[in-house]
Amino acid sequence: MNRSLFAAAFLLPVFGFAATVFDPGAGPVALRVNQSDNRQQSVTASESPDGRPMLHAKWNCAAANYLEFSLSQPVALPEFRDGELAVDVFVPDNAAIGKFNLRVTDSQGETLQYQLPNDQLKPGRQTIRCRLTDTNRNSWGAQKNGKIDFPARVTGMSIDFNRKEGDGELWIGKVDFTPTAFDAGELLADTATAPVIVGQAAARGQSATVEEAGGRQALRLNWDAAKARWLEFSFRNPLPPIDEFDSARFDVELLIPENFEGRRVNLRLADKSGETFQFALPTEGLTPGWHTVQLRISKSGAPNRGVWGGDQNRQLDFPVRVSGISVDYPTGSGAGTVALGTIRIAR
């Protein structure tokens, strides 16, 4: 039986911020231990021997030679070439730990398993640090090319045991990943200076104004969910055309407020025929503050939130342009807001 726990106008170096994978000290971590009963294993919310909130992994070495758990809500990683993974652990004396691994699953369904350095596993509380790259030969699943095809998410962890009998345990705390900064790419728009038109703004109780937001000038979007279920705007002046690409990363700066009520923030592209493609930005789990949200789009288009107009062939006919942004929000969720910064493209 499976068990669950409680439930970035120029080329600038960016994306060096830490992404928290999970933090038991900040709240419950929902997860599932694979074959927990048959393998006599568990991972539960607990306190480490030094009194800190952590996940407590326990196992019987005679019942299985490894433990694996998956996150009920996999955590999106920022796109990276390499970066540092930091994992807080408390290791007991005589721990039966052979390997300690992080699992990342990419957009093609390939899972890459990264082994943390065993020589750092000393008795007591410590932070294990290691480098992650976007390539790894230890992988399985669809399109097994040993390379992360973004977007990608942390899906779980595993522990291999180095003996065949006795009990073992490990406490796991906060897990952070900090990608190495790289060039943000070409500026397409700074929404603080690029005029926009909000569709049916008055009737829908919506506005878009340039103001100070989070320490900088930004485009502030405001809405009343009692009058409409979405806000949409287009750029008054066409943005620069984007030539053909096989794959491109679009980076959108968002200021997420406290108690954000938006269900989705969507980027819209229009091709040369006038066909519009809408893509939802990966905003799930974002904390209040500024974020650079990354969205990778392939040449084929494959919009995840709809397509309309133009020749309706559902293919990006180049050149294309970023035509606007939309925000969806639940009916009855009241007044809402979000702020936008720059939009960039990196090929």
Judge contact between 31 and 72, C-beta under 8 A: yes
| Separation CA 291–CA 197 (nearest Å) | 24
Which pLDDT score is estimated for 158? 98
Whole-number pLDDT of residue 17: 60
**Domain residue limits, the chain:** 3-181, 185-346
pLDDT for 11: 33
Copy the structure tokens of residue 202: 């008055």
Burial 167-203 (b: 16+ CB within 10 A, else e): ebbbbbbbbbbbbeebebbbbbbbbbebebebeebee
Q: What pLDDT shows up at residue 334?
A: 92
- Please, which residues bridge with residue 160 across strands? 66, 99
Q: Domain 185-346's class? A: mainly beta
- Written out in words, the top-level CATH class of the domain with range 3-181 is mainly beta
Full pLDDT tens readout for the chain, 347 residues = 333 332 222 233 344 567 899 999 999 999 999 999 999 999 999 999 999 999 999 999 999 999 999 999 999 888 888 999 999 999 999 888 999 999 999 989 999 999 999 888 899 999 999 999 999 999 999 889 999 998 899 999 999 998 888 999 999 999 999 998 777 789 999 999 999 999 999 999 999 999 999 999 999 999 999 999 999 999 999 999 999 999 899 999 999 999 898 989 999 999 999 999 999 998 887 889 998 888 889 887 677 778 999 999 999 999 999 999 999 999 889 999 999 999 999 98
The model's pTM: 0.70
